[in-house]
Structure 1
C-alpha cells in the first residue's frame, strides 16, 4: 500500500496547486491513500490571517474542510482521500486550537513544533552568537515542546521531529539526552512520528528524522508513518519506496496511518 499523509496546497500561501491537483498527482503516482494536511490558521490571533504566506485564514478553514470532504466522495473508487491538518503546537494556546479542531471530523491531525522561544525553527540567524550551552538549551526546549505535544492528546502524528536541523545541519550534533526522553514519552501514546522527506530540500539535505533517531524510535516501539510534506504536486510520494526500504533495513516491520483518528497498521 502506498500513501502520503503530509501535503499542502495554495491556501497556506507558500504552496503551489489546489487540493485537486495533489489528489490527481497522487493517482498518477500510484498512491492508494492521500491525506491533505495544510497548515492550520493561527487560531489564537485576533487577525483573520496573521501570516498570509505561512498559514490559511481562519475564515478559510471551514471551506478547506468542506472541500476535502467533497473530494473524498468524488474520488471514491479511485483513491482514498483523508481529511487532515497540520497544526502548530503552542502550549499556552492549546485549548483554543483544540476547540477549533474538535469541530471537524478529521482523520488525523499532525502536530508540529515550528516555534521555539518564539522564534521560527527555520530562522537561519537564530543560532548566531549562541554559546554551546545556549545551543544545548535551545535543542532541549525544542524537544520539551515535542514531548508536550505528544502528551497533549491533540495529535495522531507528530511532524518532522528534528526539523530544526533544516537550515542548521549542526543541530544534529548538539549533544543532549532530550531526544531519548522525548521518544520514550511518544512511545507511551497511540501516535506516530513521520518520516518526512522534505528535509532533502533544505540545507540539511536529508529526511526528518535522521536514521539514528529512527533507530532509537524502533528501540522504544514508536509508531512510524510517511509524509512528503509536499508543497508542490510534483513532490507527492517523494522517496516513498526509499523510505520503505530504509525502515526495513533499520528493523521496522510495519507502519501506520489513521482513519477517523483510529490507528491502522500496514506491513512494510
Structure 2
C-alpha cells in the first residue's frame, strides 16, 4: 500500500492549490490512500484568524471538513480520501481542541509541536547567540512537550518529532538522554510517529526524524506512518519508497494506518 497522511492546501495560507489538486496528484502518483491534514485554526484565540499565513481561520474549519467529505465521496473507487487535520499542541488548550475535534468525523489527527518556550520552532532568531547548554535546555523542553502531546490522548499521529532542527542543523549534534527517554515513553503509550520527508526543504535536509531516532523508535516499539507534509501537489508521496526501504533496513515490519480514528497495521 502506498499512502500519504500529511498534506496541506491553500486554506492555511502558506501552501499552494486546492484539496482536489492534491487528490489528483496522489492518483497520478499511484497512491491508494491520501490524507488531507491542513493546519487547524488557533481555537484558543479570540481572533478568527490568529496567525494569517500559518493556519486557517476558525470560520473556515467546518467548510474544510465539508469539502474533504464531498471529495471523499467523489473519488470513492479511485482513491481512498481520509479526513485529517494537523493540530498544534498547547499544554493549556488541548482539552478545548479535543472538544472541537470530537464534533467531526475525522479519520485521524496529527499532533505537532510547533511552539516551544512561546516561540515557533522554525523561528531562526531563537538560535542567535545560543550556547550548547542553551540548545540542550531547549531540546529537553521540546521533547517533554512531545511526550505530553502523546499522553494527552488527543492525537493519532505525532508530527515531525525532530523538526526543531529545521533551521538549526546542529540541534541534532547536541545530545541529551531526554530524547531516548521520550522515545521510550512513546513506545509505552503505543504512539505512532510519522516519517516526514519535508526536511529536505529546510536547512537540515533529510527526514524527520533522523535515522538514529528511528532506530530508537523501532527498539521501543513506536509505530510509524508516512507523511510528505506536502505544501504543493507535486510533493505528494515524495520519497515514500525510500522511506519504506529504510524502515525495513532498520527493522520495522509494519506501517500504522488510521480510519475513523481506529488504528490498523499493514505490511511495509
- TM bin (shorter chain): over 0.9
The match for 1:176 is 176
Give 3-state SS (helix, strand or coil) of 1:23's partner: helix
Query: Residue 16 of structure 1 corresponds to which residue in structure 2?
Result: 16
CA distance in structure 1 between the aligned counterparts of 2:133 and 2:201, rounded to whole angstroms? 29
Q: How many residues align?
A: 268
Does structure 2 conserve the Cα–Cα contact (< 8 Å) formed by 1:190 and 1:263? no
Report whether the alignment pairs 1:99 with 2:111.
no
Please show how residues 1-268 of structure 1 align to structure 2 within 5 Å: 1-268=1-268
Residues 36 and 85, structure 2, Cα contact 8 Å, conserved in 1: yes
Separation in 1, partners of 2:45, 2:150 = 23
1:189 Cα deviation from its structure 2 partner: 2.4
Which consecutive unaligned segments of at least 5 residues does structure 2 have? none
- 8 Å CA contact 1:156–1:190 kept in 2: the answer is no
Q: Secondary structure at the match of 2:66?
A: helix
Q: 1:52 Cα deviation (Å)?
A: 1.3
Deviation at 1:191, TM superposition (A): 2.9
Do the aligned partners of 2:190 and 2:221 also contact (CA within 8 Å) in 1? Answer: no
- State the 1:95 CA deviation: 1.4
Distance 1:175 1:184 in 2: 16
Q: What is the CA–CA distance in structure 1 between the aligned matches of 2:212 and 2:99, rounded to whole Å?
A: 36
In 1, are the aligned partners of 2:8 and 2:229 still within 8 Å (CA)? Answer: yes
Answer yes or no: is the 8 Å Cα contact 1:197–1:227 preserved in 2.
yes
SS in 2 for 1:170: helix
TM-score (norm 1): 0.99
Q: Quick one: distance in 1 between partners of 2:247 and 2:190?
A: 19
Secondary structure of 2:78's match? coil
> Structure 2: how far apart are the matches of 1:173 and 1:132?
10
Asked if the contact 2:215–2:250 (Cα under 8 Å) also holds between the matched residues in 1, the reply is: yes
Name the SS for the 1:255 alignment partner: strand
Displacement of 1:134: 1.6
- Give the secondary structure class of the aligned counterpart of 1:92: coil
How far apart are the structure 1 equivalents of 2:184 and 2:66? 37
Note the alpha carbon deviations across 1:15-58, whole angstroms, 9 max, x for none. Answer: 00100000000000000000000000000000000111000000
Q: What is the deviation of 1:246?
A: 0.6
Deviation at 1:132? Answer: 2.0
Contact 1:19 1:36 in 2 (8 A): yes
Which string of whole-angstrom CA distances, capped at 9 and with x for unpartnered residues, describes residues 169-204 of structure 1? 000011101111111111122431000000011100
SS in 1 for 2:14: coil
Tell me the secondary structure at the aligned position of residue 52 of structure 2: coil
Cα RMSD of the aligned pairs, angstroms, is 0.7
For 1:74 and 1:181, the matched residues in 2 are separated by 44
